Every structure is written in structure tokens, then in C-alpha cells.
Amino acid sequence: MRALIDALPEPVMLVARNGVVQAANQAAADLFGPHIQGARVRAYLRQPEVAAMLEGAFALIDDPGRPHAARMVITEPAAETTWQVTARALPPGAGFAGLVISLHDISHREAAEAQRRDFVANVSHELRSPLTVLTGFIETLQGAAARDEHARQEFLDIMAREAARMTGLVQDLLSLSRVEASERIRPRDPVAMDDVLRATIAALRPQIDGAGLALDLTLPDDLPSIPGDHDQLVQVFHNLLENAVKYGGAGGRIDISGRVLRACPGLEGPVLRVSVTDHGDGVDPIHIPRLTERFYRVDRARSRDQGGTGLGLAIVKHIINRHRGRLVIRSNPETGSTFEVLLPCTAPAPPHDPGSATPPSR
Ligand SMILES: Nc1ncnc2c1ncn2[C@@H]1O[C@H](COP(=O)(O)OP(=O)(O)OP(=O)(O)O)[C@@H](O)[C@H]1O
Ligand SMILES: [Mg+2]
């Protein structure tokens, strides 16, 4: 029995009828400390829900096969973990009379569920406000404003804007899910970064000029191409440059510069660094770690006025992850913001072709 539970990766204890832990495997000792062996299990599993579950299991100890389960949260300074605790009595003749208590770490499952709930709540909330506006104006146009030509034009303009906002949200959600789905496969097409940047700037030229901004692009002549996905990289710089125009416009100037670094901590081989810098209002550094979260906006009202939903940087982060690169954000209200995109220059090893005789070199 001892050897058996030691071979299991998750915490398992054998607890005698009198509540004393007869054996605890290494994972259980890691979780509860070395003194768990020989201790009273009730002293360790004290949270009310787990304690009640244990009492039920001890009361039905002669009814083997019926599992009892409860959820337990362990709070440690570094992190909080959530466990599913299961107690089951062994059948007579199993070589041990008592309960087998096992713990299963469900922290990730719970976190994923919470994330999914938040996501659905956020999407519904974002879709609800334009829908409310649209429904309101449709009713007005059907009733009071039916014959008012001037009001009709004005309302139709607002309706078109709200519909465009919903389309934008749906497009962003689709591109986020597409990038997430392909994140494990690193793209390998050679991409010329000057093309990417020039295409991005050309597409955003009307907004840049409209905001009266000067744009300075500094690239070395010998910029290498990097392995990547052209369209996704355009999307990265489109989102970054659009943000610089929207939130950094007060600075009057945007600088984009590229450079090859011979090495960069945490990344393989030489790295292409492209920085997008504005000299606008910046953000308080406390917000920086959260900027790439979906739907996170520092100033909700301001971003919403500009038609933003807070998905732009989440998409940027996923695309850069897919390229095995890194995004570094520096910002403060005095100097403005710099978004640095770091992308490895060397191509990934070709995928293994099972038909070829020689294994791919690394
Ligand atoms: N250059 C910048 N200067 C100041 N704040 C910025 C800058 N870039 C992003 N932010 C802040 O980060 C938030 C998140 O940016 P993100 O691009 O993800 O969303 P958004 O621009 O609000 O909406 P979307 O990009 O989906 O249209 C913004 O709402 C803004 O508060
Ligand atoms: Mg944005």
C-alpha cells in the first residue's frame, strides 16, 4: 500500500478508523508538512466543508465504495490553491481498514472557469450598450421621429456608428480566437519588417494626419527578414500605432524604430526590436501589467469614446507569443509610452518529416 501511494503524483493518505494518518505519500507530505504522518487527520482538514465531509465518510466507513468529496482552499503567501478532497473507505480484505483520502488540484480548472465567466460577461456587456442604443433609435424612428427628416439623418448616423462598433468587437473576438488557436504553431515565412511597418503606417495615415501628428520611422538599411506571419505582424503594429495615435496624440509626435540586438534575455539568438513611442499622456505604471488583459482599459470612458473595446493589446500579446517573442511596455504620465516588440530573427527548425531518413537538426 505504501509503495502504491508513493507512486501516485497527487497527495494521498491512508487514515485509520481512529482518524490517525497511517501513511502519507510524498505529495501529501509536501502539501501538509512532514508531521502529517501519524497525526490526526481532522487537525489538518479543518475547513468546515471538508470536516463535514470527513465526518460523513467516517460514519459510513463500513459502506465501502461510496466516495465523499469536498472542496478545500489552501492559502499560502505565494498563491492560493484549490483542491478537491475525496475520501473513500476500502472494501473488507483490502489489507487496510480505513479511509483513503486523496487530493486533486483543481486550481487551474477553477481559474479557467472564472476566466470564461468573466469573458462571457464582458462580451455581453460590450454588445449590450450598442444594442440598447440601436433599439432606442429604432423605436424613435418608428414613432415620434417618423416624419422628421433632420432627426432621421442624425439618428441613422449614430446607429451606423454603433453597428460599426459591434462589427469591430466581433472582428476582434474572431481574430483573438484565431490567434489563440494557432498559438502553438510558430510561423516561419520570411517577413520583411520594413514592408510590415510601411503598410501599417500607410493604412493609418488618415488618422495620423487627422490628429496632426508627425511620424518618424528609423530603420537600418540591412534589416534582416524574420520568420513570421506577415498579416499578423501588420496587426500587431496597427494596434500599437493606433493606440499611440488615440492615447498618445497629445505629444505631437510618434517614433517608430527598429534594430537588431545580438542577444536578449529569455529569447533565442539575435532579436529584432521594434519600438513604438509616443509622447502623450502615458499611463500610471501600476496599470502596465494589466494592459494586455482582454477588455482592460485604463480609462474606460475615454477608450469607449474612441471606439475601443480593450482587445487590441490582448491580440498583440498573443501574436507575439506565437512568434516566440516578447512585448515590453514602458509608460508614465510625464514622458508617454514605449511599446517594444522583440522578435527572434532565427527560423524555427523545420517540422519533422516522418518520411525522411535523417532526423531534423536542432
Ligand atoms: N500608447 C498608449 N498611451 C496610453 N495608454 C495606452 C496606450 N496604449 C494603450 N493604452 C491603454 O491601454 C488600454 C488597452 O489598450 P487596447 O489597445 O488593448 O484597447 P483599446 O485601445 O481600449 O481598444 P481596442 O484596441 O480594442 O480598440 C487602452 O484603453 C488605454 O487605456
Ligand atoms: Mg487599442
**What are 304-325's pLDDT values in tens digits?**
777 788 999 999 999 999 999 9
Same domain? For 82 and 207 the reply is no
3-state secondary structure string across the chain: CHHHHHCCCCCEEEEECCCEEEEECHHHHHHHCHHHCCCEHHHHCCCHHHHHHHHHHHHCCCCCCCCEEEEEEEECCCCEEEEEEEEEECCCCCCCCEEEEEEEECHHHHHHHHHHHHHHHHHHHHHHHHHHHHHHHHHHHHCCCCCCHHHHHHHHHHHHHHHHHHHHHHHHHHHHHHHHHHCCCCCCEEECHHHHHHHHHHHHHHHHHHCCCEEEEECCCCCCCEEECHHHHHHHHHHHHHHHHHHHHHHCEEEEEEEEECCECCECCCEEEEEEEECCCCCCHHHHHHCCCCCCCCCHHHHHHCCCCCCHHHHHHHHHHHCCCEEEEEEECCCEEEEEEEEECCCCCCCCCCCCCCCCCC
Average pLDDT in the 339-357 region? 77
Same domain? For 336 and 221 the reply is yes
pLDDT of residue 354: 57
Same domain? For 83 and 228 the reply is no
* pLDDT greater at residue 77 or residue 258: 258
Tell me the best of 207, 243, 256 to mutate to test the pocket of ligand 1, counting ligand atoms within 8 Å of each CB and taking the most. Answer: 243
Determine which residue's CA is closest to atom 20 belonging to ligand 1: 310
pLDDT of residue 79: 84
Same domain? For 105 and 190 the reply is no
pLDDT-derived band at 229 (thresholds 50, 70, 90) equals very high
- Residue 104 resides in a domain: yes
- Residue 358 resides in a domain: no
- Residue 287 resides in a domain: yes
- Residue 153 resides in a domain: no
Same domain? For 243 and 336 the reply is yes
Tell me the best of 174, 179, 303, 334 to mutate to test the pocket of ligand 1, counting ligand atoms within 8 Å of each CB and taking the most. Answer: 303
Same domain? For 100 and 212 the reply is no
Domain count, the chain: 2
- Which ligand gives the minimal distance to the CA of 300? 1
Tell me the best of 247, 309, 334, 339 to mutate to test the pocket of ligand 1, counting ligand atoms within 8 Å of each CB and taking the most. Answer: 247
Report how far ligand 1's centroid is from the alpha carbon of 99 (Å).
54
Ligand 1 lining (C-beta closer than 6 Å): 172, 239, 243-244, 247-248, 278, 280-283, 291, 296-299, 303, 308-314, 337
Q: Return the CATH number at 50.
A: 3.30.450.20
d(Cα 254, Cα 276) in Å, to the nearest integer?
Answer: 7
Q: Which atom of ligand 1 is nearest to the CA of 243?
A: 8
pLDDT of residue 361: 47
Tell me the best of 291, 293, 306, 309 to mutate to test the pocket of ligand 1, counting ligand atoms within 8 Å of each CB and taking the most. Answer: 291
Same domain? For 217 and 309 the reply is yes
pLDDT of residue 362: 44
* pLDDT greater at residue 256 or residue 80: 256
* pLDDT greater at residue 361 or residue 39: 39
Q: Express as a percent the part of the chain with pLDDT over 90.
A: 74
Determine which residue's CA is closest to atom 29 belonging to ligand 1: 297
Last residue of a domain, which of 83, 109, 135? 109
Same domain? For 209 and 314 the reply is yes
- Residue 246 resides in a domain: yes
* pLDDT greater at residue 131 or residue 144: 131
pLDDT of residue 353: 58
Same domain? For 190 and 294 the reply is yes
Same domain? For 62 and 202 the reply is no
Same domain? For 318 and 191 the reply is yes
- Which ligand gives the minimal distance to the CA of 169? 1
Same domain? For 89 and 195 the reply is no
Please write the tens of the pLDDT for every residue from 13-26. Answer: 999 999 999 999 99
Domain range for 2: 1-109
Report how far ligand 2's centroid is from the alpha carbon of 316 (Å).
9
Q: Express as a percent the part of the chain with pLDDT over 70.
A: 96
- Residue 177 resides in a domain: no
Last residue of a domain, which of 76, 91, 109? 109
Q: Given a cut of 80, is residue 201 above it in pLDDT?
A: yes
User: Which of 63-77, 123-137, 321-335 is least confident?
Assistant: 63-77
Average pLDDT in the 275-284 region? 95
Q: Which atom of ligand 1 is nearest to the CA of 339?
A: 1
Determine which residue's CA is closest to atom 6 belonging to ligand 1: 247
- Residue 251 resides in a domain: yes
Last residue of a domain, which of 109, 133, 155? 109
- Residue 94 resides in a domain: yes
Q: Given a cut of 70, is residue 358 above it in pLDDT?
A: no
pLDDT of residue 64: 78
pLDDT-derived band at 68 (thresholds 50, 70, 90) equals very high
Determine which residue's CA is closest to atom 28 belonging to ligand 1: 297
